Amino acid sequence: MRHIALTLALSFGLMAPAAFAQNMPAQSGPQNQAVKGVHENNSSTPVSGANSFTMKEAKSQIEAKGYTHVVKLKKDKNGVWRGMAKKDGSAGPVSVDYQGNVN
């Protein structure tokens, strides 16, 4: 019986902080806006962060922005996929960050 009472007491004690957290005001968050669509960026430079894109997904994101011949993709220590690609007849470096920004 004591075990049940202890379990209930702990359960209710853990629920109170969760209810409090729901009423806290939202933080201002990052200063850049969310990416609105696959063809838009919210930053003119890559944003570092934990990138969950696979190489194939990063390549697709780059190609969706009009780049072709995407090669040598490698994720750097900041979580940014970097490689080389062509756009408008010119070859050069290209990157995609965890937010989907292609630069």
pLDDT tens per residue, range 20-34: 445 556 454 455 555
Give CA–CA dist 36/5, Å, rounded.
50
Q: What is the mean pLDDT of residues 12-24?
A: 51
Determine phi and psi for 94, rounding to 5 degrees: -145, 150
- Kindly tell me if the per-residue pLDDT of 76 is higher than 70: yes
Domain spans, the chain: 2-25+47-96
* Single-letter amino acid, residue 46: P
Higher pLDDT residue, 73 or 10? Answer: 73
- Asked if residues 43 and 31 have their Cβ atoms less than 8 Å apart, the reply is no
Higher pLDDT residue, 88 or 43? Answer: 88
pLDDT value at residue 44: 78
- Asked if residues 40 and 58 have their Cβ atoms less than 8 Å apart, the reply is no
Give CA–CA dist 15/34, Å, rounded.
32
Quote the mean pLDDT of the chain: 78
